[in-house]
């Protein structure tokens, strides 16, 4: 299988592209992370979301520690080919490392404050190993 499809992506100066994970069943935006060529290629090959972790400096298989994998149903790019949209099934119902369903759990209120609008579904300390 040729990787020519990856050449259509407009990678940034660091060889990355933003990737948005959207829940297939609800349309909810779960999270945004970064992908490089290898992570996007692996995502297509495995059918599971693989990202590039800038903080770890390595590939990050979503759910590798938490078990909260994302099964990819569709891969799309935007009109400028500089953003990837993935339609995913979120295993375990938690996409955010804070233990919430999605990463967009704060909303700006009328007084200009960021207010948490979604509950923690599971304590992150119970999800992730302590090192």
11 Cβ contact partners less than 8 Å away, ≥ 6 residues apart: 17, 36, 37
For residue 101, being part of any structural domain is answered with no
The domain of 82 spans 4-92
Stretch 33-48: mean pLDDT: 98
For residue range 75-114, what is the model confidence (pLDDT) as tens digits? Answer: 999 999 999 999 999 999 999 999 999 999 999 999 999 9
Which CATH number fits the domain that encloses residue 23?
3.10.20.810
14 Cβ contact partners less than 8 Å away, ≥ 6 residues apart: none
Residues of the chain with pLDDT > 90, as a percent, come to 88
Indicate if the pLDDT at residue 3 is higher than 90: no
For residue 107, being part of any structural domain is answered with no
* Count of domains forming the chain: 1
**pLDDT grade, residue 131 (50/70/90)?**
very low
For residue 127, being part of any structural domain is answered with no
pTM of this prediction? 0.91
């Amino acid at each position: 299988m040729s990787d020519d499809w990856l050449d259509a992506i407009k990678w940034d100066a660091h060889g990355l592209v933003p990737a948005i994970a959207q829940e297939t069943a609800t349309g909810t935006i779960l999270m945004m992370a970064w992908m490089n060529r290898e992570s996007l290629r692996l995502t297509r090959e495995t059918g599971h979301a693989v990202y590039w972790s800038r903080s770890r400096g390595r590939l990050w298989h979503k759910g590798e520690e938490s078990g909260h994998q994302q099964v990819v149903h569709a891969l799309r790019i935007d009109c400028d080919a500089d953003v990837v949209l993935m339609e995913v099934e979120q295993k375990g119902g938690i996409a955010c490392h804070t233990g919430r369903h999605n990463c967009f759990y704060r909303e700006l209120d009328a007084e200009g404050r960021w207010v948490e609008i979604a509950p923690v579904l599971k304590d992150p300390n119970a999800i992730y190993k302590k090192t």
